[in-house]
């Protein structure tokens, strides 16, 4: 009788003889994935950094609750009305009208997550669906969709958004989020499409067709799990590019003036001429932007290992 | 041609399939490859029919046409007396319950992201059979039928944790779970070791005994066909060249190509190869006109007959057919 | 008495993994004569390919030869310097890899690829000599001269394999290691290739190690057969000895699962059931005990010593010599 322990492979799974409930299977899968993710150094660093930023974002509600002078937008310290360096009351100092920089940094973290993740989510949802449909349907549908993607891809995102904001005035942050998403989906779609193309003729897809599966089922049940690692990986890239684009927009003065983002902070530094005089004001947002994009990238890389069972570090086959 | 007195369960009549290679975008149509050329064969209910041929002979194309992955350019395919070419919608779903396939590559025919339970359960889900509890029971039964015991151990595993032979058994379980009436096994063991393939053959035999399922067994190995099949058809470059009972066709082959296949079979004990009786060492140039496809390689070819027209399948006796001018 | 061309003595090769060293090859010994051929048979994962790669010192970076010797023409392949190994490779020992026909560079003409193989290993030759040898190699493997200028994709699978064989013969080696050279080929082509290999092996007096999972193929071609399972050699002897009277239950199983064209359908009943996976050697005990009907406690405890059934035939089984 075969002894299950002679099978090479996943050390985390145990044979189960009790009934399999749907929910516990997901929990089991998550724990399996976590045990793999944990071993990846880059993933751990990335996740730690993200955790830090997450804490920052969550903590962004605290300063103004402690004392209204710490509100990032409206908090004005009655004693200070210009840019000052770090001090006990203001851990990173104040900006040009006396607002606390540290609380602005925390608020910026919140905005970064919000902008980054929602924009990335939208462009991934869009891009993956279009990519899968184009790759699976082939022929005319494929051609039409890909020409559309090409047209959008060659448009310079930043420039177009700048022009639109110049035309329509200052834009709301959510409009910016959607616009970024709408310009960034073609990259995902192309990659997902080529992945789908290579999967389309694989025997397991044909086996599903022979079993009578409908096209929709094949796309969402069979192809999607196989392209998901790629989609999620690209999502982390979209997050990074969304954050950077939003920061650039804000820096250039086209952001949402009611939102405190790191880019907005940089814009204020620059606009008020404090670029070289106030490092305590200039450096934190810049460093944060770099670190958060790096953190997302690292997390994405590590997730690659988890999502594809075959990429895991197995015992070497002879 | 049937020997059972009832109509065959699957019948292909004059089926032709051509592939065009070369980019049609540039206007010029590339070279045409004829994968199947007016193939006609009948398979009777409850028998195991072997289709033997080398790679590129068209045998896999035949199976793809039967299950509807592709459509023939010409000819008819009938299952249980009903046309199955171009089936759509509900009729196609009904058809997929009755006809299933075991693919050649066990490493690719299972979705790596599906657990074994998901894979084997899928046909039940697609056709809306049963509820969660009864599905689990059926999946376990199917795994047991495929000799994967105890089945519970395998339910939560993933394909990469199983060996090739086990994966192929999972594929068999998936194919058999709806108890189809017709099973196509497309070179199911060519990627497996000898001892495992032996067991798979034994399993297929047992499936036929237990379920009465008719099988089309596609292979390049004459020995496998000899051991497993009741009747055998030999296919060469898209044409059926010989057909008969497994025993008769393989022990006493008529067509020169079948004889060549037999000569090529490894025969240990005599290391000095005695050469081919029917195969030329150097191929003749291919005639431009219609000709017997085996002519360029055939040592026994009759000049001015074999290179001027293609032979037709002729009945030698009640059970045997050959397509050769020598008969 | 001529010494053997290659003598492998207690060779062990292991892979480094996160949990230590796994032995892929465990204490394997055999020898190959000049002009003789050894067939290494075993199912996938038994370590036969690793032996071939180990002899050529082409192991993966996380694998190493743990112990043992491989004496070839007076040198020990396991300890020679990398520089010397480079000189030996292809000139004295060459290899035909698995699925080799996909190893041809699609953008170079076949003639150039063979010439490159020659020039790389014998840089002193003039271009005239190289061209001459290329032509004679093609003649040897029976590829028509007008095909010299073609690209790989214009060849069929069988012809590409002949090109690979020509490349392996390019520098007149004394030993060829052929790893599943005919696996992806059709029966007729396979037979022709095997015949071709056998012919020039004898003509050029080359020793050969033929690695395959297919006992039928090996049985057709080789003078000696070694049966491997889970990294260990379990039986070794001349061809007729191993095939006619297999001493090891595993060999018996392999022989029984050979499908024959005989009048009687194969006896499908007597097979023992190997449902486990093959893989690196498991500690302790006979590698086959899990699937052997006659396994006793002694079999599980330790691997048997070699039992000589004849001067040239040895088996590693506790019950060797007993009637099944």
Q: 3-class secondary structure for C220-243?
A: HHCCEEEEEECCEEEEEEEHHHHH
Let me know if residue A62 belongs to a domain: yes
CB atoms within 10 A of CB C37: 25
Report how far residue C107's alpha carbon sits from residue C113's, in angstroms, rounded to the nearest whole number: 10
CB atoms within 10 A of CB A237: 18
Residue-wise pLDDT tens digits, C255-290: 877 777 665 555 544 444 544 444 444 556 677 766
Mutant choice from A198, A212, A219 vs B, greatest count of B C-beta within 10 A = A212
Cβ contact (<8 Å) for A2 and C46? no
CB atoms within 10 A of CB C320: 18
Task: Please tell me whether residues B286 and B140 are part of one structural domain.
Answer: no
Is the pTM value of this prediction over 0.90? Answer: no
Report how far residue A199's alpha carbon sits from residue B144's, in angstroms, rounded to the nearest whole number: 30
Residue-wise pLDDT tens digits, C45-91: 788 888 988 988 888 888 888 889 899 988 888 888 888 888 888 88
List Cβ neighbours of A311 (8 Å cut-off, separation of 6 or more).
A304, A305
State the CATH number of the domain containing residue B166.
Answer: 3.40.50.300
Chains in contact with B, counting 3 or more C-beta pairs less than 8 Å apart as contact? A, C
User: Residue A10 above 50 pLDDT?
Assistant: no
Total tally of structural domains belonging to chain A: 1
| Domain boundary residue, one of B230, B252, B274 | B252
Taking the CA of residue A213 and the nearest CA in chain B, the distance in Å comes to 6
Task: Please answer whether residues B286 and B306 qualify as being in contact, where contact means their C-beta atoms are separated by less than 8 angstroms.
Answer: no
Three-class DSSP labels, chain C: CCCCCEEEEEEEEEEEECCEEEEEEEEEEEEECCCCEEEEECCCCCCHHHHHHHHCCCCCCCEEEEEEEEEECCEECCCCCHHHHHHHECCCEEEECCCHHHHCCCCCCHHHHHHHHHHHHCCCCCHHHHHHHHHHHHHHCCCCHHHHHCCHHHCCHHHHHHHHHHHHHCCCCCEEEEECCCCCCCHHHHHHHHHHHHHHHHHCCCEEEEEECCHHHHHHHCCEEEEEECCEEEEEEEHHHHHHCCCCHHHHHHHHCCCCCCCCCCCCCCCCCCCCCCCCCCCCCCCCHHHCCCCCHHHHHCCCCCEEEECCEEECCCCCCCCC
Task: Please tell me whether residues B234 and B307 are part of one structural domain.
Answer: no
- Chain B residues in contact with C239 by the CB 8 A cut-off are 268, 271
Chains in contact with C, counting 3 or more C-beta pairs less than 8 Å apart as contact? A, B
- Chain B residues in contact with A212 by the CB 8 A cut-off are 92-93, 95-97, 123, 126-127
User: Residue C320 above 70 pLDDT?
Assistant: no
Let me know if residue B311 belongs to a domain: yes
Task: Please tell me whether residues B53 and B126 are part of one structural domain.
Answer: yes
- Chain B residues in contact with C213 by the CB 8 A cut-off are 193-194
What ipTM was estimated for this complex? 0.85
Let me know if residue A4 belongs to a domain: no
Give the pLDDT score at C321. 61
Q: What is the DSSP letter of B287?
A: P
Q: Is B124 on the interface with A (CB under 8 A)?
A: no
Please compute Rg for chain C using Cα positions. 21
A269 or B138, greater pLDDT: B138
Model confidence at B65, in pLDDT bands (50, 70, 90)? very high
Cβ contact (<8 Å) for C261 and B223? yes
Report how far residue A207's alpha carbon sits from residue B216's, in angstroms, rounded to the nearest whole number: 16
Model confidence at A4, in pLDDT bands (50, 70, 90)? very low
Let me know if residue B4 belongs to a domain: no
Q: Describe the crossing of helices C157-169 and C187-203 by its angle, rounded to 10 degrees.
A: 20
Q: What is the DSSP letter of A68?
A: G
Task: Please tell me whether residues B57 and B179 are part of one structural domain.
Answer: yes
A85: domain range? Answer: 29-311
Nearest CA in chain B to C251: B195
Task: Please tell me whether residues B226 and B296 are part of one structural domain.
Answer: no
Segment holding B76, helix H or strand E: strand B74-79
Mean pLDDT, range B203-211, rounded to an integer: 92
Nearest to B126 among A9, A28, A211 (CB): A211
Chains in contact with A, counting 3 or more C-beta pairs less than 8 Å apart as contact? B, C
Task: Please tell me whether residues B265 and B189 are part of one structural domain.
Answer: no
Total tally of structural domains belonging to chain B: 2
Nearest CA in chain B to A310: B160
B57: domain range? Answer: 10-252
């Amino acid at each position: 009788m075969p002894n299950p322990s002679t099978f090479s492979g996943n050390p985390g799974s145990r044979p189960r003889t009790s009934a399999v409930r749907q929910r516990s299977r997901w929990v089991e899968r998550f724990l399996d994935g976590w045990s793999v993710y944990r071993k990846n150094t880059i993933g751990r660093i990335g996740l730690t950094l993200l955790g830090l930023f997450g804490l920052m974002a969550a903590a962004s509600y605290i300063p103004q609750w402690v004392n209204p002078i710490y509100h990032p937008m409206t908090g004005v310290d009655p004693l200070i009305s210009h840019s000052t360096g770090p001090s006990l009351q203001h851990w990173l100092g104040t900006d040009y009208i006396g607002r606390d920089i540290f609380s602005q940094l925390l608020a910026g973290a919140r905005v970064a997550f919000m902008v980054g993740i929602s924009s990335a989510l939208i462009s991934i949802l869009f891009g993956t669906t279009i990519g899968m449909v184009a790759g699976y349907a082939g022929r005319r549908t494929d051609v039409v969709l890909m020409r559309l993607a090409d047209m959008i891809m060659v448009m310079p995102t930043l420039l177009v958004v700048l022009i639109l904001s110049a035309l329509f005035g200052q834009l709301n942050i959510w409009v910016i989020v959607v616009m970024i998403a709408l310009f960034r989906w073609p990259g995902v779609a192309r990659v997902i499409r080529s992945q789908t193309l290579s999967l389309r003729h694989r025997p397991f897809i044909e086996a599903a067709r022979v079993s009578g599966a409908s096209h929709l089922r094949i796309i969402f049940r069979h192809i999607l799990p196989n392209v998901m690692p790629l989609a999620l990986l690209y999502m982390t890239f979209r997050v990074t590019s969304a954050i950077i684009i939003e920061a650039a927009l804000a820096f250039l003065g086209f952001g949402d003036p009611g939102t405190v983002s790191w880019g907005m902070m940089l814009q204020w530094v620059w606009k008020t001429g404090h670029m070289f005089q106030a490092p305590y004001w200039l450096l934190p947002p810049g460093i944060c932007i770099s670190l958060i994009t790096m953190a997302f990238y690292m997390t994405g890389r590590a997730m690659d290992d988890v999502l594809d069972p075959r990429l895991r570090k197995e015992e070497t086959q002879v | 041609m049937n020997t059972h007195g009832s109509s065959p369960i699957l019948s292909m009549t004059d089926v032709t399939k051509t592939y065009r290679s070369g980019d049609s975008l540039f206007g010029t149509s590339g070279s045409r490859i004829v994968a199947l050329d007016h193939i006609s064969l009948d398979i009777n209910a409850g028998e195991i029919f072997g289709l033997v041929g080398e790679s590129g002979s068209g045998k896999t194309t035949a199976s793809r046409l039967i299950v509807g992955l592709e459509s023939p350019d010409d000819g008819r395919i009938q299952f249980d007396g009903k046309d199955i070419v171009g089936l759509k919608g509900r009729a196609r779903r009904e058809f997929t319950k009755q006809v299933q396939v075991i693919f050649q590559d066990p490493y690719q025919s299972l979705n790596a992201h599906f657990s074994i339970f998901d894979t084997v359960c899928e046909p039940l889900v697609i056709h809306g059979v049963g509820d969660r509890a009864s599905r689990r029971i059926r999946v376990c039964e199917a795994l047991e039928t495929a000799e994967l015991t105890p089945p519970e151990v395998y339910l939560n595993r993933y394909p990469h944790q199983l060996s090739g032979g086990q994966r192929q058994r999972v594929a068999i379980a998936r194919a058999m779970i709806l108890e189809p009436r017709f099973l196509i096994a497309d070179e199911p063991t060519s990627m497996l070791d000898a001892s495992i393939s032996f067991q798979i053959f034994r399993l297929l035999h047992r499936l036929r005994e237990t379920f009465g399922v008719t099988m089309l067994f596609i292979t390049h190995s004459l020995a496998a066909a000899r051991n497993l099949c009741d009747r055998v058809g030999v296919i060469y470059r898209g044409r059926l060249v010989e057909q008969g009972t497994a025993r008769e066709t393989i022990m006493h082959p008529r067509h020169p190509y079948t004889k060549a296949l037999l000569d090529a079979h490894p025969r240990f004990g005599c290391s000095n190869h005695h050469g081919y009786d029917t195969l030329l060492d150097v191929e003749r140039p291919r005639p431009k006109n219609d000709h017997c496809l085996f002519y360029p390689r055939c040592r026994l070819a009759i000049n001015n007959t074999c290179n001027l027209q293609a032979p037709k399948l002729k009945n030698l006796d009640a059970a045997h057919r050959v397509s050769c001018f020598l008969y | 008495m001529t010494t053997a061309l290659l003598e492998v003595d207690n060779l062990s090769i292991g892979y480094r993994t996160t949990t230590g060293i796994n032995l892929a090859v465990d204490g394997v010994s055999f020898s190959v004569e000049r002009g003789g051929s050894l067939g290494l048979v075993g199912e996938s994962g038994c370590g036969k390919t690793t032996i071939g790669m180990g002899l050529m010192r082409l192991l993966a970076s996380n694998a190493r030869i743990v112990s043992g010797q491989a004496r070839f023409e007076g040198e020990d392949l396991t300890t020679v310097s990398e520089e010397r190994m480079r000189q030996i490779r292809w000139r004295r020992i060459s290899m035909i890899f698995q699925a080799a026909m996909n190893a041809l560079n699609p953008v170079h003409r076949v003639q150039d690829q063979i010439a490159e193989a020659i020039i790389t290993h014998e840089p002193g030759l003039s271009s005239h000599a190289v061209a001459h040898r290329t032509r004679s190699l093609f003649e040897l493997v029976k590829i028509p001269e007008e095909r010299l200028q073609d690209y790989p994709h214009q060849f069929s699978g069988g012809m590409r394999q002949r090109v690979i064989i020509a490349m392996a013969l390019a520098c007149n080696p004394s030993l060829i290691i052929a790893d599943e050279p005919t696996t992806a080929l059709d029966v007729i082509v396979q037979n022709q290739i095997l015949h071709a290999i056998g012919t020039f092996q004898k003509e050029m007096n080359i020793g050969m190690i033929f690695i395959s999972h297919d006992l039928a193929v090996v049985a057709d071609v080789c003078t000696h057969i070694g049966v491997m399972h889970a990294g260990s050699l379990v039986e070794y002897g001349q061809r007729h000895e191993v095939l006619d009277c297999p001493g090891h239950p595993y060999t018996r199983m392999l022989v029984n699962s050979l499908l024959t064209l005989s009048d009687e359908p194969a006896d499908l009943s007597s097979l023992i059931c190997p449902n486990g996976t093959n893989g690196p050697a498991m500690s302790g005990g006979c590698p086959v005990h899990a699937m052997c009907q006659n396994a006793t406690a002694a079999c599980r405890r330790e691997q048997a010593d070699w039992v000589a059934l004849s001067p040239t035939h040895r088996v590693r089984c506790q019950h060797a010599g007993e009637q099944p």
